[in-house]
Amino acid sequence: MTHQSGIHADEYVAAQLTAAQRSHVRALQVVIENESLIVNRVTSIRGTWREDYNAEILPMLDKERPCYVLFKLDSTSEFGNDWALISWVPDSASVREKMLYASTRATLRRQFGDHLIKEDLTGNAFSDVDLTGFEKHLTSKYSPAPLTAAELEKASILNNEVSGGFYGARPTGSSLQFGLTNGAAADVQRFARGLCNYVQLLIDMDCEMIDLALSEKQIEANRIASHTPSNEGRYHLYRFCHHTHQQNPPVFFIHSISGYQSSVKSRMLYSSCKSALISMLENQYGILIGHRQIQVMSATSFVW
């Protein structure tokens, strides 16, 4: 079962992608235009992949517009050169664009050739995807990066919260797991069965549970902002129908952050419970989320 946008490359663009695998191409910029994947820019090999990386990739990245970059590495397999797929989705992009690019990435991989893509990373800041960021990605695949000072402080605070008050919270690695209330579980189950396309969840810190804030049988994405509080965090499950009568539309998990209008404790809880909640939604309720996760700073970030 696929959960994609329905956007794909036509025969001409698919032929361009195939030809690039055998030619002197170093990088291709692929964008979504007019409901299709198109090759917007192509550059040639000039040096080693490390020498070419920043010079070829960074000029393709716009601070406001998402894109994909397919970058040819120097390593090879029995299929030819290995490639890296970089999904560039800047924070300033609209929620609609973020959803489209996230739900089309699997299609691009398939049309280009999953077996050719050795590295796959997503970034919303230049430092995520420049050469230094890419090398950090490579390192983290084999040896997880040590915790930063901020992460260590966060872990310490969370441990204190668990031992000093959050008795219902179960630590799961570096995250916390709160259970769903009966009301939240019922509407999540309805969402999983396709009976509604939007569920909003909140953390009830007094009850140490994740509760239902709102559910809608059918809501347009541009209405989510009006239902999102500006002073509290929220989790959102949204089934994104890009086309009318689209079969198996992709599901997105959206974490809206209240900026500095809520307490530090609240912001940290929402951040720390997110991973375990997504795992629960996928494993217990069969809701496929994968990489389709979006974080927005406030209700005003739901630009459509």
Q: Are strands 293-296 and 251-256 parallel, antiparallel or unpaired?
A: parallel
Among 45-54, 122-131, 250-259, the least confident range = 250-259
Decide whether 11-142 matches 152-301 in CATH topology.
yes
CA distance 159 to 167: 11
Report d(CA 139, CA 160) in Å as an integer: 31
Given a cut of 90, whether residue 24 has pLDDT beyond it is yes
Helical packing angle, 264-285 and 149-164, nearest 10°: 80
How confident is the prediction for the chain on average, in pLDDT?
86
Band of pLDDT at residue 148, cut at 50, 70 and 90: low
Task: Grade residue 22 by pLDDT with cuts at 50, 70 and 90.
Answer: confident
- The pLDDT value given to residue 5: 63
pLDDT at 1: 42
**Average of pLDDT values for 59-70?**
96
pLDDT of residue 48: 97
- Smallest CA-to-CA distance from 250 within 286, 223, 221, 289 is with 289
Q: Are strands 117-123 and 80-88 parallel, antiparallel or unpaired?
A: parallel
| Dist CA 189 CA 205 (whole Å) | 23
Residues β-bridged to residue 32 = 37
> Residues 167-183: what's their mean pLDDT?
71
Of 89-103, 157-171, 189-203, which one has max mean pLDDT?
A: 189-203
- Find all residues with CB under 8 Å of 131, minimum gap 6, and list them: 50, 53, 54
How would residue 141 be classed by pLDDT, with cut points 50, 70 and 90? confident
- What is the structure's pLDDT at 2? 47
Consecutive H or E run containing 276: helix 264-285
Question: What does the pLDDT read at residue 242?
Answer: 65
Give me the mean pLDDT over the 102-116 stretch: 92
Distance separating the N- and C-terminal Cα atoms of the chain: 28
pLDDT tops 90 at residue 25: yes
Of residues 299 and 80, which shows the higher confidence score? 80
- Whole-number pLDDT of residue 43: 97
CB 222 within 8 Å of CB 292: no
Bridge partner residues of 145 (DSSP): none
C-alpha dihedral, 254 to 2 to 37 to 256, nearest 10°: 0
Of how many residues is the chain composed?
A: 304
From the list 141, 121, 146, 113, the residue with the least C-alpha distance to 53 is 121
- Secondary structure (3-state) at 192: helix
Give the pLDDT of residue 246: 61
The residue type found at 221 is A
Specify the pLDDT at position 300: 63
Q: Identify the bridge partners of residue 76 per DSSP, sorted by sequence position.
A: 81
DSSP state of 247: S
Find out whether 96 and 66 touch, Cβ atoms under 8 Å. Answer: no
CATH 3.90.1150.30 applies to domain 11-142: no
As a whole number, mean pLDDT of residues 165-194 equals: 79
Residue with tokens 């800041």: 125
Spans of all domains in the chain: 11-142, 152-301
| Per-residue pLDDT at 88 exceeds 90 | yes
Structural tokens at position 93: 């992009």
Share of the chain above pLDDT 90, in %: 59
What is the pLDDT, as a whole number, of residue 86?
97
Among 8-22, 42-56, 160-174, 250-264, name the most confident range. 42-56
CA distances from 58 to 14, 165, 240, 261 (A): 24, 47, 30, 35
Assign 163 a pLDDT band (cuts: 50, 70, 90). Answer: very low
Query: What pLDDT was estimated at residue 262?
Result: 78
Q: Taking residues 177-205, report their average pLDDT.
A: 95
Residue 167 has pLDDT above 50, yes or no: no
More confident residue, 133 or 300: 133
Q: 152-301 sits in which CATH class?
A: alpha beta
